[in-house]
Amino acid sequence: MFAVTSFAPGQPVAVLTAQPLDRFLDYRAPEGGARLGDFVEVPLGPRKVLGCVWGEAEGDFPVEKLRPITRVLDVPPMRDELREFLVRAADYTLTPLSLMLFLATRAPGLFSGPQMIRVYRPGEPPARLTEARKRVLDVFEGYGGAALTVGEITRAADVTGSVVHTMAAQGALIEAEAPKDQPYPLLDPSLPSKTLSDDQAAAAEVLKSRADAFGVTLLKGVTGSGKTEVYLEAVAECLRKGRQALVLLPEIGLTEGFLERVEARFGQRPGEWHSGATMTERRRLWRMAGEGRVQLVVGARSALFLPYRDLGLIVIDEEHDGSYKQDEGVLYNARDMAVLRASLAQAQVVLASATPSLESWANAQSGKYHRLDLHARFGVAELPEMRALDLRGQKLPHGRWISEGLKAAVDERLANKEQSLLFLNRRGYAPVTTCRACGHQIACSQCDARMVEHRFLNRLMCHQCGATAPIPTACPDCKTEGSMHPIGPGVERLEEETRATWPEARVAVLSSDLFGSARALKEQIAAIAGGEADIVIGTQLVAKGHNFPLLTLVGVIDADLGLHGGDLRAAERTFQLIRQVAGRAGRHDKPGLALLQTHQPDHPVIQAILSGDDEGFWRAEAAEREALGMPPYGRLAGIILSSSSLEQAFDLGNHLAMNADPLLAIGAQIFGPAPAPIARVRGRHRVRLLIKAAKGAPLQAAIRQWLAGIKPPGDTRLAVDIDPQNF
């Protein structure tokens, strides 16, 4: 980096814009001069775009020909720490730096300044309540009456701008001033914490002693052991030091319980950063992060890119969760990027999980990360008892999935007024719909996926692209009437069986497609926690940190699901999911029982779950990965070629595979081209090359050299996926 940090008026400077250009643009510093890192508005063709002053101009264009920066925005300049982070993250993920700036400036209205945003609130009830108008009003209700921009309304309500404008003209919407950006209320770390157990207190002390310096700690403890209580003490310590803290959560729609816990601990709610937040909220948080006027941010992975003034702690809760890997646009893993950012900010990282990723487990094993274990569950002596229900000898009647053993256990819970959870990680009614006459299966016309029947929606739906279609009465292929027929269980079908088996019981279903909004889902979760259901049926949605105090039984309908994904991570995922779900049972004073229905009670993963031997499981997995040279013991990168033409994608893939000297020079192996794990999405074919290299190999440098000058033909696009999740 250059030592120069400010530029006199008229001096040429290099500006990074968030436009898809792989270079800096040169401009003249404006009248008041400019500083390194200043956020600026610059002309680009006929438009004005957001940019960031990155250094001295590089081009040799005569100064007088350069256009001037239009305006320096009234926000603190980007700090060196964030600039360095964006550069390093771009290098690591092989993404253009401009895309990184895009991630770091996704705060609408930065540009226009607070007063220039037009927002609306509901006014008089509309004279005529059309469907579209009703949806608009519902959106306001969903946001608790917050003022919303036209863009927010049209997107959330799926209406055109003219619906909004007509409603405004008729007084059904009232134009309001966008509220000025308010600092966040102060959190008070000196409020008393809960009384920690000895185990918890010891862990909290260790984390506190590691504050103010870079280091990564894996905080491992079974669900309910109090990991959250412990890391909130690390947050308290960070706040006491006057630094900012960030807590990343995987399933952002489900944070209400978490926000309440923060409020109980620190007296106020933190800043929230996620896609469900309004633009006004996001702009406010972006500014306040930069001004140091928000102490704690709770958010989704993109909160990593906020311009914190002084970030002292990053917590990644449920660190093993697959949603931390962004799989569209910039392909980055938030866990790894958090470690990078923390190393630049001299911040502490806490990775919390009951079932850590093999990567983090191995890093703790090798001493790269610290490790802290919470052994006991708080207030409960033991983990739930785990038992396998061997289905091999049993023949369940057609369309039934609940075995006698499981039924008896649920009966017992009903008699004791306790809750049972039936877990099945399959949305919809049945995973496959097939023709009895000819065997035809209905597939998505756009993707390489089957259409899943959803009775609740009364549609078929593709879980890859979301496309829906009516459920046909006749086979689309052989035209036989009434021949289409569901195979296998989904949560909706399980619900049918449950209601038929226990007609008196109150049944609640938790599946992401049954909830139109995050709020409805939160209400449902609160109702279950409050005891308003006897039997809960859920997909993986329930596996994530909720407290259901009355729950004492978890029945896993198909524990074998996912053991044969043809994917090296399948065992790891199954292990994590079943352990997490089983941890829902008996969290407080009542002991829990987890029953796993399986056809393979002797499978090593099922055995590890039953015996509670996590370390044994990880050691076995690690040995297998190491023998194969797979991550974390080797490195992988994917090259995804997507195109409307399968042939073009394969041609480019073959060309790349055959001209790969830079990769061969570092001893890497190339596999493919082959159809990608998701081979077709929204009508585009996806082909993948997989590159495998030794752990210390300079993989990124070799790939950069290899791909230099490659211009994908037609509409073919090339994306690099460093450390792919699926292999």
Sign of CA dihedral 288, 293, 299, 302: positive
**Minimum CB distance to ligand ADP smaller for 270 or for 489:** 270
Tokens of 127: 């004279």
Q: Least distance to ligand ADP from the beta carbon of 167, Å?
A: 43
Instruction: Tell me how crowded residue 283 is: count the other CB atoms within 10 A of its CB.
Output: 23
With CB under 5 to 8 Å by kind, the binding choice for 440 among Zn ion, ligand ADP, none is Zn ion
Residue 300 contacts residue 248 (beta carbons within 8 Å): yes
Choice from 35, 106, 194, 459 touching ligand ADP (CB under 6 A): 194
- Alpha-carbon distance of 358 to 626, in angstroms, equals 11
Dihedral angle computed from the Cα positions of residues 119, 121, 122 and 126, in that order, rounded to the nearest 10 degrees: -20
Q: Least distance to ligand ADP from the beta carbon of 232, Å?
A: 8
Sign of CA dihedral 252, 253, 257, 260: positive
Where in 429-488 is the site for ligand ADP (CB under 6 A)?
Answer: none
Residue 551 contacts residue 594 (beta carbons within 8 Å): no
Which of these segments, 123-131, 194-202, 243-251, 558-566, binds ligand ADP (CB under 6 A)? Answer: 194-202
223 binds ligand ADP, rule: CB under 6 A: yes
Tell me the CA distances in angstroms from 543 to 219, 251, 510, 601, one per residue in order.
18, 11, 11, 22
Where in 417-446 is the site for Zn ion (CB under 5 A)?
Answer: 435, 437-438, 440, 444, 446
**Minimum CB distance to ligand ADP smaller for 238 or for 389:** 238
Tokens of 522: 């939160």
Residues 9-37 as b/e (b if ≥16 CB within 10 A, e otherwise) read eebbbbbbbbbeeeebbbbbbbeebbbbb
487 binds Zn ion, rule: CB under 5 A: no
Choice from 464, 468, 607, 654 touching Zn ion (CB under 5 A): 464
Tokens of 584: 């829902």
Half-sphere CA count of 449, side-chain side, radius 13 A: 25
Residue 403 contacts residue 391 (beta carbons within 8 Å): yes
With CB under 5 to 8 Å by kind, the binding choice for 444 among Zn ion, ligand ADP, none is Zn ion
* Contact characters 124-153, Zn ion, x per CB under 5 A: ------------------------------
With CB under 5 to 8 Å by kind, the binding choice for 462 among Zn ion, ligand ADP, none is Zn ion
Which of these segments, 88-96, 227-235, 245-253, 274-282, binds ligand ADP (CB under 6 A)? Answer: 227-235
- Alpha-carbon distance of 555 to 536, in angstroms, equals 10
- Alpha-carbon distance of 140 to 173, in angstroms, equals 10
- Alpha-carbon distance of 581 to 585, in angstroms, equals 8
Residue 687 contacts residue 650 (beta carbons within 8 Å): yes
Q: Least distance to Zn ion from the beta carbon of 450, Å?
A: 9
- Alpha-carbon distance of 558 to 438, in angstroms, equals 28
What radius of gyration do the chain's Cα atoms show? 27
Q: Least distance to ligand ADP from the beta carbon of 198, Å?
A: 10
Q: Least distance to Zn ion from the beta carbon of 392, Å?
A: 32
Choice from 115, 182, 195, 366 touching ligand ADP (CB under 6 A): 195
Choice from 149, 154, 197, 355 touching ligand ADP (CB under 6 A): 197
- Alpha-carbon distance of 319 to 355, in angstroms, equals 9
- Alpha-carbon distance of 200 to 193, in angstroms, equals 12
With CB under 5 to 8 Å by kind, the binding choice for 464 among ligand ADP, Zn ion, none is Zn ion
Choice from 30, 55, 215, 226 touching ligand ADP (CB under 6 A): 226
Residue 259 contacts residue 269 (beta carbons within 8 Å): yes
Closest CA to 343 of 106, 16, 92: 92
With CB under 5 to 8 Å by kind, the binding choice for 547 among ligand ADP, Zn ion, none is ligand ADP
**Minimum CB distance to ligand ADP smaller for 22 or for 198:** 198
* 52 annotated among ligand-binding-site residues: no
Residue 435 contacts residue 480 (beta carbons within 8 Å): yes
631 binds ligand ADP, rule: CB under 6 A: no
* 447 annotated among ligand-binding-site residues: yes
Dihedral angle computed from the Cα positions of residues 513, 516, 522 and 525, in that order, rounded to the nearest 10 degrees: -40
Which of these segments, 222-230, 274-282, 283-291, 497-505, binds ligand ADP (CB under 6 A)? Answer: 222-230
**Minimum CB distance to ligand ADP smaller for 226 or for 586:** 226
Q: Least distance to Zn ion from the beta carbon of 426, Å?
A: 17
Which of these segments, 191-199, 265-273, 414-422, 589-597, binds ligand ADP (CB under 6 A)? Answer: 191-199
With CB under 5 to 8 Å by kind, the binding choice for 225 among ligand ADP, Zn ion, none is ligand ADP
Helix (H, G, I), strand (E, B) or coil at 25: strand
Q: How many residues bind ligand ADP, per CB under 6 A?
A: 16
Residues 350-376 as b/e (b if ≥16 CB within 10 A, e otherwise) read bbbbbbbbbbbbbbbbeeebbbbebeb
Residue 158: φ, ψ to 5°: 55, 50
448 binds Zn ion, rule: CB under 5 A: no
With CB under 5 to 8 Å by kind, the binding choice for 378 among ligand ADP, Zn ion, none is ligand ADP
**Minimum CB distance to ligand ADP smaller for 10 or for 257:** 257
- Largest separation between any pair of C-alpha atoms in the chain: 86
224 binds ligand ADP, rule: CB under 6 A: yes
CA angle 464, 573, 592 (to 5 degrees): 115
**Minimum CB distance to ligand ADP smaller for 201 or for 707:** 201
221 binds ligand ADP, rule: CB under 6 A: yes
576 binds ligand ADP, rule: CB under 6 A: no
Q: Least distance to ligand ADP from the beta carbon of 458, Å?
A: 38
* 475 annotated among ligand-binding-site residues: yes
Instruction: Specify which residues 298 forms β-bridges with.
Output: 247, 272
**Contacts of residue 424, Cβ cutoff 8 Å, sequence gap at least 6:** 401, 489, 490, 491, 494, 537, 538, 539, 557, 558, 561
**Minimum CB distance to ligand ADP smaller for 403 or for 419:** 419
**Minimum CB distance to ligand ADP smaller for 131 or for 198:** 198
Residue 705 contacts residue 699 (beta carbons within 8 Å): no
Tell me the CA distances in angstroms from 674 to 541, 637, 639, 642, 644, one per residue in order.
32, 14, 11, 12, 16
Which of these segments, 218-226, 233-241, 298-306, 527-535, binds ligand ADP (CB under 6 A)? Answer: 218-226
478 binds Zn ion, rule: CB under 5 A: yes
Residue 26 contacts residue 15 (beta carbons within 8 Å): yes
Tell me the CA distances in angstroms from 14 to 54, 59, 86, 106, 380, one per residue in order.
6, 9, 16, 21, 60
**Minimum CB distance to ligand ADP smaller for 540 or for 716:** 540
- Alpha-carbon distance of 551 to 535, in angstroms, equals 9
225 binds ligand ADP, rule: CB under 6 A: yes
Choice from 17, 200, 355, 552 touching ligand ADP (CB under 6 A): 200
Q: Least distance to ligand ADP from the beta carbon of 228, Å?
A: 3
Where in 632-691 is the site for Zn ion (CB under 5 A)?
Answer: none
Q: Least distance to ligand ADP from the beta carbon of 273, Å?
A: 21
Which of these segments, 39-47, 221-229, 340-348, 550-558, binds ligand ADP (CB under 6 A)? Answer: 221-229
- Could you list the residues that contact Zn ion (CB under 5 A)? 435, 437-438, 440, 444, 446-447, 462, 464-465, 467, 475, 477-478
Binding site for Zn(2+): which residues? 435, 438, 444, 447, 462, 465, 475, 478
- Could you list the residues that contact ligand ADP (CB under 6 A)? 194-197, 200, 221, 223-229, 378, 545, 547
